[in-house]
Structure 1
């Protein structure tokens, strides 16, 4: 049974069967899961179960060996130990997709969420240890990461005894039907509106040329600039490796992966923003900048937020994790994402007070950043576990 789920990123289901359950959740879509399966460091799969009352439930999974996960944000052992919390072994099954940092439990529309969570929990825990990328057994841990509050509550109702650990705040910017001007009004503070207008004006006066491309025509620029940004924040990687990764990305994505390139005259681009538009939502995927050549004109916020926000028909920008303060100042709402250990006999069981203390301290650090962050937090989604 278990090995079959790792035959491909959808566990043997067709794209249509999988997307019927994903139901608009882009980072759990067949397209996205096939894309991230190209990355090294784990073996991607799709766990799915038929439900007794009819319908099906599913969740993306990945088999990883100890110290094998290349993405530091997915190394649950490091994440938990850095927070002073006990952790299951480093190797095992990640219950999530491997890029995007937003995971969902999936089910046929109309299926009860707790029933679906219970069936998936049983399947995850009974899954034989799969084979990792080097051919060795992945390990015994079963850890879900970047889950929404709704899915954590469903899994807890289905029998999970460990307390979820707050990982990060996920930023969403809602664009009202009135578009750009109405969006500015939702920011409330006249100071914040002036800030945004000033940043747009500076960018427009800086002499930049902005081009819209598809990734297959721009992956060399995206790879070079993304590598510069990653290196700036301490993540090592050669430009050649990034360029090759984005070439593969472009090969599978076709016209769906789009890029904004920012240049001065005929010089090579100084900045880029890679995004995917799915329905009325723009998912911001990567930015990159040649920092020494920037002109101090709020290049990041213009490329990543202000230009996409003015695209016709856009109602949401998914800005993802990191820098919640800057995103809150520009109107984002901040939703929690959680780690939930599903390993039988989890070392987090019985440590509810310690985990709650961590979660509360995490929330306190967020609210201490600014009144804008405090306002941006969706309190009902945080309070159950803080």
Structure 2
């Protein structure tokens, strides 16, 4: 095949070459891909191709172990089984990046998206089965995860026959030019505005000290607190392992990895929010709390949303995939993210009815959560999700982004 797409996290390209295609997509940037490649459990790479009309197309990839990814959010076999759907083998090539749970097909400015999607699909399907971290062949599956609707449509137009499976909702909050006060006005409901003001007031009266730090100066606190939060939600992991992981991240990220550290009365920190700022956008990366020491003052929403939203120059918070209801109540938009099986002769190809039923039920559960969530979902992407025959047939014209 020529290129070794697993030579490094960028498939052998320089940072500048990769970022020419990734511009505007932080979670697909060279910086982020090199950062997440530090994590165990897969071998990171990058598939890329020169386009006939000029420019380049690229997508992050990762070679898994034969039994799948160690990260539960990337174990496609388990996620499909939970939805009552068939799955390709658990081992193979993940078409996505490994943290952040948002992936894009990347193209140079002005490149033809239809050609790019077809070229990348051919490249990914033509890969020989790579080796996972243990040295064993990863497997034959080729599965894209956390793709946007536009990229799913592009790959369907390129010939993917399996329907996309709804995975989750991606949340982002837009901060208008008028800043905090204008943002509150966008929430519409006076009750919702009052809720936010009350949560800010409680936090300010709780006696917390909040410091702005960089990760390299407080990675031990972040690791300890993040481990506590993961354990609270059933994800096993020792504090020492988290601390070491954040130490490595801090070493590579430098000043770009920033932390809001929350403490009481000179005691060790009881809460943190790790984020990366890219241009006018804050990407919320991790939170952690010593829950038994908190004072019931909306600590999560203050550290993760209200304080970042008031930072000078911030116009957008990317809040990710968890707790869509709470985010919608605070003004977030929710967009679907999809699993699309690129494996030739995918076992999902014969299950269109079941996939459509799952997707519709998934959207309905979100809508039933609250009126705020229903409003946040009111876009053509979610309307298409629930329709019976809306997905274009493989090989039909692609919608341009």
TM over 0.5: yes
SS of corresponding position for 2:306: helix
| CA distance in 1 between partners of 2:47 and 2:385 (Å) | 27
SS of corresponding position for 1:383: helix
Q: Which residue in the other structure is 1:48 paired with?
A: 48
SS of corresponding position for 2:335: strand
SS of corresponding position for 1:306: helix
Aligned residues: 386
Q: Which residue in the other structure is 1:147 paired with?
A: 147
Question: What is the deviation of 1:115?
Answer: 1.2
Question: What is the deviation of 1:167?
Answer: 0.1
The answer to whether the Cα contact below 8 Å between 2:68 and 2:92 also exists between their aligned partners in 1 is: no
Q: Which residue in the other structure is 1:268 paired with?
A: 268
The answer to whether the Cα contact below 8 Å between 1:171 and 1:324 also exists between their aligned partners in 2 is: yes
In the superposition, relative to structure 1, how do residues 2 and 173 fare at CA in structure 2: closer, same or farther (>3 Å)?
farther
| CA distance in 2 between partners of 1:20 and 1:311 (Å) | 29
- For residues 141-290 of structure 1, what are the structure 2 equivalents within 5 Å? 141-290=141-290
Q: Which residue in the other structure is 2:346 paired with?
A: 346
Q: Which residue in the other structure is 1:78 paired with?
A: 78
| CA distance in 2 between partners of 1:48 and 1:251 (Å) | 28
In the superposition, relative to structure 1, how do residues 271 and 34 fare at CA in structure 2: closer, same or farther (>3 Å)?
same
SS of corresponding position for 1:6: coil
The answer to whether the Cα contact below 8 Å between 2:257 and 2:274 also exists between their aligned partners in 1 is: yes
2:12 corresponds to 1:12 = yes
- For residues 108-147 of structure 1, what are the structure 2 equivalents within 5 Å? 108-147=108-147
Question: What is the deviation of 1:2?
Answer: 6.9
Q: Which residue in the other structure is 1:327 paired with?
A: 327
The answer to whether the Cα contact below 8 Å between 1:3 and 1:130 also exists between their aligned partners in 2 is: no
Question: What is the deviation of 1:93?
Answer: 0.2
The answer to whether the Cα contact below 8 Å between 1:163 and 1:385 also exists between their aligned partners in 2 is: no
Greater alpha carbon shift after TM alignment, 111-120 vs 135-144: 111-120
Question: What is the deviation of 1:384?
Answer: 2.7
Q: After superposition, give the CA deviation of every residue in 1:21-70 in whole Å (9 maximum; x if it has no partner).
A: 00120000000000000011000000001111111100000000222411
Q: Which residue in the other structure is 2:291 paired with?
A: 291
Q: Which residue in the other structure is 2:391 paired with?
A: none
The answer to whether the Cα contact below 8 Å between 1:2 and 1:128 also exists between their aligned partners in 2 is: no
| CA distance in 2 between partners of 1:2 and 1:177 (Å) | 49
| CA distance in 1 between partners of 2:154 and 2:191 (Å) | 41
| CA distance in 2 between partners of 1:16 and 1:165 (Å) | 33
The answer to whether the Cα contact below 8 Å between 2:10 and 2:45 also exists between their aligned partners in 1 is: yes
SS of corresponding position for 1:4: coil
Question: What is the deviation of 1:240?
Answer: 0.3
Q: After superposition, give the CA deviation of every residue in 1:344-369 in whole Å (9 maximum; x if it has no partner).
A: 00011121111000000000000000
The answer to whether the Cα contact below 8 Å between 2:166 and 2:336 also exists between their aligned partners in 1 is: yes
SS of corresponding position for 1:300: helix
Question: What is the deviation of 1:385?
Answer: 3.5
Question: What is the deviation of 1:381?
Answer: 1.2
Once superposed, which parts of structure 1, at least 4 consecutive aligned residues long, lie more than 4 Å away? none
The answer to whether the Cα contact below 8 Å between 1:335 and 1:378 also exists between their aligned partners in 2 is: no
Greater alpha carbon shift after TM alignment, 83-92 vs 107-116: 107-116
The answer to whether the Cα contact below 8 Å between 1:170 and 1:336 also exists between their aligned partners in 2 is: yes
Question: What is the deviation of 1:3?
Answer: 6.7
Q: Which residue in the other structure is 1:365 paired with?
A: 365
Q: Which runs of 5+ in 2 are unaligned?
A: 387-401
The answer to whether the Cα contact below 8 Å between 1:2 and 1:130 also exists between their aligned partners in 2 is: no
Q: Which runs of 5+ in 1 are unaligned?
A: none
| CA distance in 2 between partners of 1:26 and 1:301 (Å) | 23
Q: After superposition, give the CA deviation of every residue in 1:63-117 in whole Å (9 maximum; x if it has no partner).
A: 0022241100000000101100010000000000000000000011111211110
The answer to whether the Cα contact below 8 Å between 2:325 and 2:372 also exists between their aligned partners in 1 is: yes
| CA distance in 1 between partners of 2:198 and 2:330 (Å) | 13
